[in-house]
A and B are shown apart, each in its own frame.
Chain A
Amino acid sequence: MCKQGCAFPSELIKSKLREDLPRTFPGHPWLDTPHGHAALRRVLVGYSFRDSDVGYCQGLNYVAALLLLVMKTEEDAFWMLAVLLENVLVNDCYTSNLSGCHVEQRVFKDLLAKKCPRIAAHLEALEFDVSLVATEWFLCLFSKSLPSETTLRVWDVLFYEGAKVLFHAALAIFKMKEENLLLTHQVGDVIDILQRTTHHLFDPDELLTVAFDKIGFMTTNTISKQRKKQEPEVMKELDERLRRLNSLREDDR
């Protein structure tokens, strides 16, 4: 039995995948064909067997799809996915309540305040929470936002140097548009600028230069410490939410 209490988790996953496969890079000449869908399904279902806590999480479809395109074989894509989730990224990014993802978002917010204080202060005044754009960046590892050439360069460094690279790249995107972002008056304008920037970042060097030369040095250790600091607060919030939901259910009874 899986955590959701269904007797056939793979059936549930397959039905979710049926909806998501055609919605993963739609229109791609190979991915968006019956062959492509079937290959992607096998990689994702295969991974759900390997780690039932993760099962299938939306976002992984994009990651696995790009891995398939690069690695060519399903087996290699599968193992690359496994290495990413088990050795490279922080734990629990994709499990039941995405707690790892919540932690990363808070760490990122703190880093932005430290590395780009003017932007952070301006966004705060607009009531713009960085998780609004960064959740997708971190869960899809930029594959849904950056052109694939650029995504793959970021991934090269990601595999080589670890998850801190995601923070470098994310900070760089904000940093590159600092002046424009400071002129915004509305949440929508901030999102427009960031989306337009990411969609048109065809030159990986442009991004990586800012990510590593202008953002400054960060060690994996620094990030780990930041995560440790954020974890208790995230867990507390997630628990409180569950408690509120449960008490509402009891009231209904």
Chain B
Amino acid sequence: MAKVSPLAKYKLVFLGDQSVGKTSIITRFMYDKFDTTYQATIGIDFLSKTMYLEDRTVRLQLWDTAGQERFRSLIPSYIRDSSVAVIAYDVANRQSFLNTSKWVEEVRTERGSDVIIVLVGNKTDLVDKRQVSIEEGDNKAREFGIMFIETSAKAGFNIKPLFRKIAAALPGMETLSSTKQEDMVDVNLKSGGNSSQNTEQQGGGCAC
């Protein structure tokens, strides 16, 4: 029997203010769906998914967190273990954008520069309510030296590209972490091709 290839495992922690859409982004990526109402996350939540890329397969562990300021004291150990931090804000809420600096600070405190950080401006579907332009987001990301993308979990816009961007930035297979080997079991997320299960997806079919 063919040997089951080991999976590189990566931890991603999702940070950002209350109600910016961290859980929605994860749910869209995991199940390709969007509910109009999610329960507020309390503490930490966890999901994992195997991602099949052109040249390799990676297992992503997604750590979802509560956004309220006082919950930050619960998060450091999860940041410490993560190789990627996704810092989200709501493009229709300027304060949540301003607070991303604090979240970057929080990540740098725990990980220094040894971490991939992605700034994500979510809720681009709220066109009339936008308070933060794409240029501002881009400038801030440049200033911090981190990656940037705008998404709409609701419309399914740019969610796959977000995760492909992250996957592309992950350290290569040769530096495969010493974590345990696992079998490949998960649902296939075909590279390039549009998954057929949900037609609501508007911009999620990735061409990158």
Main secondary structure of the interface of A (DSSP, over half): helix
A98 partner, pick from B19, B74, B76, beta carbons under 8 A: B74
Asked if A185 is an interface residue, CB under 8 A from chain B, the answer is: yes
A-B contact pairs, 22 of them (CB 8 A): A19-B19, A20-B19, A26-B37, A27-B37, A58-B18, A58-B66, A95-B70, A98-B70, A98-B71, A102-B73, A129-B77, A131-B44, A132-B43, A136-B42, A139-B43, A144-B39, A185-B182, A188-B48, A238-B73, A241-B109, A248-B108, A249-B105
Q: How far is the CA of A139 from the CA of B44 in the complex (A)?
A: 12
List B residues at the A interface (Cβ < 8 Å): 18-19, 37-40, 42-44, 46-48, 61, 66-71, 73-74, 76-77, 105-106, 108-110, 180, 182
List A residues at the B interface (Cβ < 8 Å): 4, 16, 19-20, 22-27, 32, 57-59, 61-62, 94-99, 101-102, 129, 131-132, 135-136, 139-140, 144, 185-188, 191, 238, 241, 244-245, 248-249
Main secondary structure of the interface of B (DSSP, over half): mixed
- Taking CB atoms, residues of chain A closer than 8 Å to B19 are 19-20, 23
A131 partner, pick from B43, B48, B66, beta carbons under 8 A: B43
- Taking CB atoms, residues of chain B closer than 8 Å to A101 are 74
- Taking CB atoms, residues of chain A closer than 8 Å to B42 are 58-59, 62, 135-136, 139-140, 144
The answer to whether A61 and B40 touch across the interface, beta carbons within 8 angstroms, is: yes
Q: How far is the CA of A99 from the CA of B74 in the complex (A)?
A: 10
CB distance from B200 to the nearest CB of A (A): 20
- Taking CB atoms, residues of chain A closer than 8 Å to B38 are 23, 26
CB distance from B34 to the nearest CB of A (A): 13
CB distance from B98 to the nearest CB of A (A): 14
- Taking CB atoms, residues of chain B closer than 8 Å to A96 are 70
CB within 8 Å for A24 and B39 given contacts A98-B74, A191-B46: yes
**List of 6 A-B pairs having minimum Cβ-Cβ separation, nearest first:** A135-B43, A26-B37, A19-B19, A23-B40, A97-B73, A188-B48
